[in-house]
Amino acid sequence: MTIGSVPVKFRITVDPDQCMLCGRCAENCPYDVFRIENNRMHVNSRKCVACHRCIAMCPRDAINIKERPVDYRSHPVWTTEIREAIYNQARTGKIILAGMGNAQPYPVIFDSLVLDACQVTNPSIDPLREPMELRTYLGKKPSRLEIKEDSDGVDVLTTLAPNLKLETPIMIGHMSYGAISLNAQQSIARAVSDMGTYMGTGEGGLHQSLYPYQSHMIVQVASGRFGVDINYLERGAAIEIKIGQGAKPGIGGHLPGEKVCEDVSCTRMIPVGSDAISPAPHHDIYSIEDLKQLVRSLKEATEWKKPVFVKIAAVHNAAAIAAGIARSSADVVVIDGFRGGTGAAPKVFRDHVGIPIEAAIASVDAKLRAQGIRNQVSLIASGGIRESADVAKVIALGADAVYIGTAALVAMGCRVCGTCYRGLCPWGIATQRPDLVARLDPEVASKNVANLIHAWTLELSELMGAAGINSIGSLRGNRDRLRGYLLDESMMNVLDVKSVGA
C-alpha cells in the first residue's frame, strides 16, 4: 500500500426521496455502478466514468454525479491529473491510454476569432428569400479551361478531374467499424446520404450493410490495409490515404483483439480475436515520391475515376508537407488538427503532439496559394470542429469543407466521457457488445445526425447572408471576414487576419 487508494473521480448520489428503485440505472450501466439489494440502492462511485447513461434513463431525476468530490491540496503545477497519472504509472509501468480528443486546456483559437456582418454600405442577404450556394466540389480544378464555342453551344475541351459534389461543406470524418459500432456507422451513412454529403469508412473495411450508401462513402486505405481489396476501392465515392491522425500524430493504431468480433473480423479481413495493428508508416511510403506512387496506384486500380484524398495530422511543417502532397496527384488534402478525437490514443500523444487546425489550415492554404497550386487540391479541415461558427471560420481561413467526428457522435448521445477504449460505450457507439449496440437505433440516430448537419448548414447560410455573401466560394479563404480578438501578433500573422478594430 505504498500509494494507496486515490480519490474517486466521480461521486454518485441517489436521492432516496426521488428514487423508486425501478432499476433502470442498474440495467443501463455497463460499468456495474448500481446494485439494488434488500430494497436499497447501492452505488460504487469508483466505477463511474460519467457517461450519464443512468441520468438519461432515470425517470425521476434522482441521480446526481459530482466530479472530483475530494480535494487534493491545490497546486498550480502538480495538478490532480498530473499526480494521478504518476500514481497510475508508478503502479503499472505502462503507457496511459486515453480516449476522445485533446484534454489539455490549450486556448481555442476559434474562440478568439470573430466573424463579420454587413451594416449599411453592403446590404446583407436574407437566405430565406435569396438562394445561398453551399454546394461544394472537392477535387482538382483546372488552372484554365479550353472551350470551343460554335452555333451548337459551348464545349469544354479541358479534361476535368473527378470531383465530389457536396450539398453542404460539412462531412463526417473517418471512424472505423471496430472503433464504433455498425449501428453508429449505419446512422451516419443514412444521415450523409440524406443530406447530400459524405462520410469516411475509417480503416475498418466496408460492412455489407453499408453498400446501399457507398456512393456517399469515402473508403480509407491506411497502413494496416485492413479490409482493402479492389472491390472495396471500387465501391467508394473517393479513396482516402490515411497518413496520420490529429489525435495521435506519428504513431499507428491498433484495434485490440477483444473488439475483433465475427463481423469486424469479416470487414477487416483478419481472424476473430487477433490484434489489428496499423503500423506508424505505410510500408511503401518513405517519401513524397513514394506517396505519389501510392496515390497513382489507387487511381490506376480504379481507372482514374475517383478523387484520392490524403489525410495528415496537423504538425509543425504541415504547410510544406501539404505542398508536397498537392504535387503527388492527390485531389484533396485533409488536415486533422490536434483536437481530433479517437477511440484510443496514448494520453501523451493526444494531449501534446500536433498543432491546432486553425493555424494549420491557414498556413497550408497560404503556402499552396503562394506556390500557385491551390487549385490542385481541395482542403478539408478536421479535428475540433464543434459548431457552425467553427465551420464558417475555418472556411474563411482557407478550407473547402470540414470533417466532423465527435460532434456527430454527440448528436447520437455520446457524452464525451472519453472512455471509448474500454469498449463498453453505454450509448451503443464505441462498442461491439451486441446488447449495447442494440441501444442505438439507426432509424432515430440517423435523423439526429442529419438534423445536426441541417441545423449547422442553416446557420452557415445565415452567417454568410449576414456578411453579404451568397456563395460558399466567396467565403473560402476570405480572411477579411475574420478579426482576431486578443490574439497575439505572431498568431495573427500566421492566420493572416487583422485585429478587431483594425
Partner 1 sequence: MNTVRIDARGMHYSLLNTAIRKAVASGVREIIVDNVMGQRFIADGLKGDATLTIHGVPGGDLGMFMSGPTCIVHGNCDHAPGNTMDNGKIIIHGSAGDAVAHSMRGGKVFVRDNVGYRAGIHMKQYMEKRPVLVIGGSYRAFLGEYMAGGLILSLGDPAVHPHTERGIGSGIHGGKIVIRGNIDEYYLGVGARTFTLSNEGMDEIIPLIEEYAGYFGIDPDPLIHESYTQVTPSSSRPFASKYTWE
**455497463: which residue's cell?**
30
**Residue 341 is a binding residue for partner 1 (CB under 8 A):** no
- In the structure grid, which three cell numbers stand for residue 478, read together? 476570405
Kindly provide the residue ranges of all beta strands, DSSP E only, lying in 243-354, ordered along the sequence.
253-255, 276-278, 308-313, 332-336, 345-346
Measured distance CA(337)–CA(74) in Å, rounded: 32
**Residue 151 is a binding residue for partner 1 (CB under 8 A):** no
Annotate 338-359 with three-state secondary structure: CCCCCCCEEHHHHHHCCCCHHH
Task: Report which secondary-structure segment, H or E, holds 166.
Answer: strand 164-166
Residue 331 C-beta: closest distance to partner 1, Å = 16
In the 8-state DSSP scheme, what is residue 72? P
Residues whose CB falls within 8 Å of the CB of residue 147, separated by 6 or more in sequence, listed in order: 154, 155, 156, 157, 158
Point out which span in 22-30, 222-230, 239-247, 373-381 binds partner 1 (CB under 8 A): 222-230
Residue 76 C-beta: closest distance to partner 1, Å = 22
Interacting residues with partner 1 between 385 and 424 (CB under 8 A)? 418, 421-422
Binding mask 419-438 for partner 1 (x = CB under 8 A): --xx----------------
Query: At residue 244, what are phi and psi to the nearest 5 degrees?
Result: -150, 175
Exactly one of 45, 80, 209, 293 binds partner 1 (CB under 8 A); that residue is 293
- Please compute, for residue 454, the number of CA atoms within 13 A of its CA located in the half-sphere on the CB side: 10
Closest CA to 104 of 317, 425, 418: 418
**Residue 283 is a binding residue for partner 1 (CB under 8 A):** yes
Interacting residues with partner 1 between 346 and 375 (CB under 8 A)? 346-347
**Residue 225 is a binding residue for partner 1 (CB under 8 A):** yes
Closest CA to 244 of 218, 268, 220, 260: 220
**Residue 250 is a binding residue for partner 1 (CB under 8 A):** no
**Residue 279 is a binding residue for partner 1 (CB under 8 A):** yes
Closest CA to 99 of 18, 172, 164, 180: 180
Residue 299 C-beta: closest distance to partner 1, Å = 9
Residue 85 C-beta: closest distance to partner 1, Å = 8
Question: For residues 73 and 94, which CB has a smaller minimum distance to partner 1 in the complex?
Answer: 94
**Residue 297 is a binding residue for partner 1 (CB under 8 A):** yes
Question: For residues 191 and 255, which CB has a smaller minimum distance to partner 1 in the complex?
Answer: 255
Binding mask 91-110 for partner 1 (x = CB under 8 A): xx-xxxxxx-----------
Question: For residues 188 and 247, which CB has a smaller minimum distance to partner 1 in the complex?
Answer: 247
Question: For residues 203 and 336, which CB has a smaller minimum distance to partner 1 in the complex?
Answer: 203
Strand pairing partners for 336?
313, 382
Residue 15 C-beta: closest distance to partner 1, Å = 30
Binding mask 303-332 for partner 1 (x = CB under 8 A): xx----------------------------
Strand pairing partners for 241?
221, 310
Residue 227 C-beta: closest distance to partner 1, Å = 10
For 424-443, the DSSP string reads B-TTSSSB--HHHHTTS-HH
What does the binding site for partner 1 look like in residue numbers (CB under 8 A)? 88-89, 91-92, 94-99, 224-225, 228-231, 233-234, 254, 256-257, 265-266, 269-271, 273-275, 277, 279, 283-284, 293, 296-297, 300-304, 346-347, 418, 421-422
